[in-house]
């Protein structure tokens, strides 16, 4: 069962992503015999994305400490900022330093998420194990058109333009 903090975080994302993550959590619990998922990140403000992007970088944006880098997406370039992405961590791994990237639970999570039609950061060149997104007709990252739509008309307009519809 998803914990109350994670449930509250899910209420900030697109309703279909919220529902899909809940179903994914059920799949994960069944597959693991009871381990559940923690929602570590959901909707972010652009200012929060800036703070995350600066970690491990100098003032020019060059990586100086790769171990500290949290994201490769500058503000406006992450689906987290549009309520179309979440970061999920198996509960059994949350207290382990670095969340045990070698754990087979990550592969299980990725496989289950892909069955639910989520795009997984684990499959990218710069792996982002906890990241899953549901972007509808949009690409892997927000483009200038999406950023403009968001700035002009807000998150609901982006959701509508994504083509993601509730069943």
How many helices (H) and strands (E) are present in the chain, helices listed first?
Answer: 6, 4
pLDDT tens digits, 17-50:
999 999 999 999 999 999 999 999 999 999 999 8
Q: In this structure, is residue 167 part of a structural domain?
A: no
What's the Cα-to-Cα distance from 134 to each of 15, 72, 108, 163, rounded to whole Å? 11, 19, 18, 11
pLDDT tens digits, 95-154:
998 898 999 999 999 999 999 999 998 888 677 889 999 999 999 999 999 999 999 999
CATH label of the domain that carries residue 98 = 3.30.1380.10
Q: Return the H-helix or E-strand segment holding 7.
A: helix 4-10
Q: In this structure, is residue 57 part of a structural domain?
A: yes
Q: In this structure, is residue 134 part of a structural domain?
A: yes
Pairing relation of β-strands 37-41 and 119-120?
unpaired
Range of the domain at 157: 4-162
Number of domains forming the structure of the chain: 1
Q: In this structure, is residue 96 part of a structural domain?
A: yes
pLDDT recorded at residue 37: 98
For the segment 72-95, the average pLDDT, to the nearest whole number, is 94
Is the pLDDT reported for residue 59 higher than 80?
A: yes
* pTM of the shown model: 0.91
Q: In this structure, is residue 151 part of a structural domain?
A: yes
pLDDT recorded at residue 104: 96
pLDDT recorded at residue 67: 82
Q: In this structure, is residue 87 part of a structural domain?
A: yes
Q: In this structure, is residue 60 part of a structural domain?
A: yes
Q: In this structure, is residue 18 part of a structural domain?
A: yes
């Amino acid at each position: 069962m998803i914990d109350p903090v994670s449930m509250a975080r899910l209420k900030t994302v697109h309703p279909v992503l919220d529902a899909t993550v809940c179903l994914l959590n059920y799949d994960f619990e069944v597959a693991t015999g009871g381990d559940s998922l923690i929602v570590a990140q959901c909707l972010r403000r652009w200012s929060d994305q800036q703070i995350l992007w600066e970690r491990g970088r100098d003032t020019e944006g060059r990586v100086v400490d790769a171990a500290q880098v949290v994201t490769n997406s500058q503000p406006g370039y992450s689906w987290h900022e549009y309520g179309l992405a979440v970061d999920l961590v198996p509960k059994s791994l949350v207290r382990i330093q670095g969340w045990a990237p070698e754990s087979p639970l990550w592969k299980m999570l990725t496989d289950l998420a892909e069955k639910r039609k989520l795009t997984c950061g684990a499959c990218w060149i710069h792996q982002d194990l906890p990241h899953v997104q549901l972007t509808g007709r949009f690409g892997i990252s927000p483009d200038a058109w999406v950023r403009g739509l968001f700035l002009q008309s807000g998150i609901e307009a982006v959701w509508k333009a994504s083509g993601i519809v509730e069943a």
